[in-house]
Amino acid sequence: MSPFQQKVIEIVRTIPYGKATSYGQIALYCGMPRAAREVGWTLRQSKVDMPWWRVVNNSGRISIDGNMEADKNLQKKLLSAEGIEIGDDFTFDIEKYRWIMPEEEVKKLQLSEEQINKILAKYSQTPLNF
């Protein structure tokens, strides 16, 4: 298992109940802004215990396709159970439920200052919305 995958797992485990994040967001926290697909790959093949269902794509859609229909429906069910309402098209308002890592946690990630700034600029705890 690569260090990247280990980070993915660590971070996914910190996502609180009832919240959701995107693949790209996790990738960013891991210091690999372009590795969203690898996050998905990790969640799929890693059998360790983690709340994988709290990770969706950036438009708030469950993006499991093809022959993983069972998992797709399971994810919808699990999210619904945590209070996130999901429509028949497997989409929901991610901004309403998006989890933002606290700034002090971001600073513990051992990333370059440049990347930290990038993270805070994109996912700030006090965004425009409220």
Q: Which residues bind DNA (CB under 7 A)?
A: 2, 4, 22-25, 32, 34-41, 43-45, 52-53, 55, 57-59, 63-66, 68, 71, 75, 122
- Provide the H-helix boundaries in 17-90: 23-29, 36-45, 69-81
The residue (of 69 and 105) whose beta carbon lies closer to DNA is 69
The residue (of 4 and 103) whose beta carbon lies closer to DNA is 4
Taking a C-beta distance cutoff of 8 angstroms, is the pair 12, 34 a contact?
Answer: no
Distance CA 30, CA 64 (A): 22
The residue (of 43 and 86) whose beta carbon lies closer to DNA is 43
We find the least distance from the C-beta atom of residue 62 to DNA, in angstroms, to be: 8
The residue (of 24 and 111) whose beta carbon lies closer to DNA is 24
What's the half-sphere exposure (Cβ side, CA atoms, 13 Å) at 3?
6
We find the least distance from the C-beta atom of residue 8 to DNA, in angstroms, to be: 11
We find the least distance from the C-beta atom of residue 116 to DNA, in angstroms, to be: 16
